[in-house]
Amino acid sequence: MKILSANAIRKVDAYTIEHEPVSDYGLMQRAAGALTEWLLERIPSGTHVVVLAGSGNNGGDALVAARLLMLSGFSVSTYCCHHQVTVSPTCIIAKDALLAIPDADCKEVAGRDFFPRIESTDWVIDGLFGSGLNRPLQGLAVDCVQLVNRSGATVVAIDVPSGLPTDGDFVVDPELCIHATYTLTFQLPKLSFLFAEHELLTGEWSVLDIGLNRNAIENAETSFHMITHDDAAALLHQRAKFAHKGHFGHALMIGGSRGKIGAVVLASRACLHSGVGLLSVHLPQGGELVLHTAVPEAMVEADQNEKYVTHVEISGKHNAVGIGCGLGTHPQTAKALEDILTRAICPMVIDADALNLIATHPELKSLLSANTIVTPHPVEFDRLAGKSSSGAERLENARQWAVDHQCVVVLKGAYTAVINALGEVWFNSTGNPGMATAGSGDVLTGILLALLAQDYDPFDAARLGVYLHGLAGDLASNATSQEFLTAGVLIDFLGSAFKKMQKE
């Protein structure tokens, strides 16, 4: 699923109006119709609804919704907050249609004294600004937004919360933006919804289909996508009937240090449960017995050192290498990492402490090869690439990093971003806060290593891997609870996640 910029959406809107039997106002009625349908299923009967409409088409949507809610029997008070002299012609049509209803309550807000009284039991429909916002809010709009935010009412934002830039192209002061309980956005998700700092502003968001022209969406250029179930399922390889374990690759997992052997155990278990043929694990000698006991399916190559990894034999027999889980950052481990990066020619997944070592030994970056996946969480990424002041800035830095180092970056978060060497971004759509638990990242590394060993292209492996990882988390939390989730439970649900991806 594409994520389009405000500008690209405007073009798709215009194309739809030009090529389909629908007018500007017709499209607005469709949008407001979808919105009202959503609202009617949720607003408790008898609720007083306060509708705030700006001067643009977002305001027009709000005015149409106000009319539809009134016709459905709700008590609706509508306030027009005109922030500019020219009001959109479609907004004017919508307002005239509202005023044509007997008893329509529609007031102009000429200043603070004209503001509505909002009770905490009210529902507020925010149609002040939509995708046309191009600068931070000022003046009366700010006062209005703050009145809403302090009211305690349930707030439904139309398309985008007023004050939030659709593409995340400027940093928002949360005081200058509606804090929506729900955001109902039209047709496609918006980029700015995917940054952690905007969670408070968007609340729970959902996409409403308003039937924009499919060809126009298909032809619109963008670097941003969301991974849907069908996208991920299409990436899954079928396993041939006569296949044997040699067909599914031999993976090498390198990790562990004293006190952190569990990380390699989790990553190894996840790898074996993700379809790999053979798995060898290189870990400090002290962890050998633990690994043999916890993961009997794996072969163990113990390091000469008891507590940390110092030297790894890299041979042509491995189809993929994973390194970093629980690895530690001992100087001798850094030397070993340099040696591995220099000699390994197979695809690699690099995680956790291996990334921290690269951050403290920047000369190692030049050794990364094109078929590498790096899997930093935001703090690890900032160590690698320097601090970012916002989610949007970090995403741009990660795209640049992927281009500069010609590898796949998996920037982990609520909407994990998988970025290829062209700077194209696919956001994951599965997963839940229950997965914010120790070892969850190790499980992802294990899955990615298994897919790489099975000859998945690194970008495909990363997109399918993050989707499966999140899906296992969703299945696990549905069957138990987010609180109960541990990395081990995630692995237990990997089987069901794979099953959901397979063709019936």
57, 133 in Cβ contact below 8 A?
no
Q: How far is the CB of 343 from ligand NAX (least distance, A)?
A: 54
Determine if residue 263 is labeled as part of a ligand binding site: yes
User: 377, 487, 470: which is closest to 431 by C-alpha?
Assistant: 470
Kindly state whether residue 157 participates in binding K ion, applying the rule CB under 5 A: yes
Paired residues of 123 in beta bridges:
49, 154
- 31 belongs to the binding site for ligand NAX (CB under 6 A): yes
**From edge to edge, which strands make up the β-sheet containing 278-283?**
224-226, 425-427, 417-419, 408-411, 372-374, 348-350, 320-323, 250-254, 278-283, 299-302
Residue 13 touching ligand NAX (CB under 6 A): yes
Residue 303 touching ligand NAX (CB under 6 A): no
Query: Which string of x and - marks every residue 367-386 that binds ligand NAX (by CB under 6 A)?
Result: --------------------
- In the complex with ligand NAX, the residue whose CB is nearer, 62 or 385, is 62
DSSP at 87: P
Q: Which of 84, 238, 293, 389 binds ligand NAX (CB under 6 A)?
A: 84
Considering only 74, 79, 123, 129, the residue that binds ligand NAX (CB under 6 A) is: 129
* Amino acid identity for residue 345 in this structure: I
Among 3, 49, 93, 158, binds K ion (CB under 5 A): 158
Instruction: Say if CB 394 and CB 378 are below 8 A apart.
Output: yes
Cβ distance to ligand NAX smaller for residue 85 or 240: 85
Dist CA 156 CA 154 (whole Å): 7
- Closer residue to K ion (CB): 58 or 445: 58
Residue 150: C-alpha distances to residues 13, 119, 279, 375, 394 (Å): 34, 10, 56, 40, 31
Residue 142 or 501 having the CB closest to K ion: 142
Residue 135 engages ligand NAX in binding (rule: CB under 6 A): yes
Q: Does the protein bind ligand NAX through residue 159 (CB under 6 A)?
A: yes
Comparing CA positions, the residue from 385, 348, 386 lying closest to residue 367 is 348
Site residue total, ligand NAX (CB under 6 A):
27
Burial class (CB in 10 A: 0-12, 13-18, 19+), 259: exposed
| Candidate segments 20-28, 79-87, 152-160, 201-209, binder of K ion by CB under 5 A | 152-160
Q: By CB under 6 A, is residue 186 in contact with ligand NAX? A: yes
Residue 432 vs residues 75, 154, 360, 474, 500: alpha-carbon distances, Å = 37, 23, 31, 6, 17
The residue from 49, 54, 156, 328 that contacts ligand NAX (CB under 6 A) is 54
Backbone angles phi, psi at 331, to 5 degrees: -55, -35
Query: Would you put residue 116 in left (φ > 0), alpha (ψ -120 to 50) or beta?
Result: beta
473 known member of a binding site:
no
- Binding to ligand NAX by residue 182, rule CB under 6 A? no
Q: Choose among K ion, ligand NAX, none what residue 162 binds, the Cβ cut-off being 5 to 8 Å by kind.
A: K ion
**Would you count residue 126 as binding K ion (CB under 5 A)?**
yes
Side-chain-side CA neighbours of 171 within 13 Å: the count stands at: 8
DSSP 321: E
What's the closest the beta carbon of residue 190 comes to ligand NAX, in angstroms? Answer: 9
Work out whether 337 is an interface residue with K ion (CB under 5 A). no
**Could you tell me if 389 and 369 are in contact, meaning their C-beta atoms sit under 8 angstroms apart?**
no
Instruction: Give the full edge-to-edge strand order of the sheet including 75-80.
Output: 106-108, 75-80, 48-53, 123-127, 154-158, 182-186, 204-208
Residue 248 lies near ligand NAX (rule: CB under 6 A): no
Instruction: List the single partner that 57 binds among K ion, ligand NAX, none, CB under 5 to 8 Å by kind.
Output: ligand NAX
The 196-235 contact track toward ligand NAX, x by CB under 6 A, reads: ----------------------------------------
Question: Is there binding between residue 27 and ligand NAX (CB under 6 A)?
Answer: yes
Annotated binding site: 57-61, 126, 130-136, 159, 162, 263, 326, 377, 412-416, 441-442
Note the residues at the interface with K ion (CB under 5 A): 58, 126, 157-158, 162
User: What are the residues binding ligand NAX (CB under 6 A)?
Assistant: 13, 24, 27-28, 31, 54, 56-59, 61, 83-84, 88, 129-137, 141, 158-159, 186
Annotated binding residues for AMP, as ranges? 412-416, 441
Residue ranges for the binding site for K(+)?
58, 126, 162
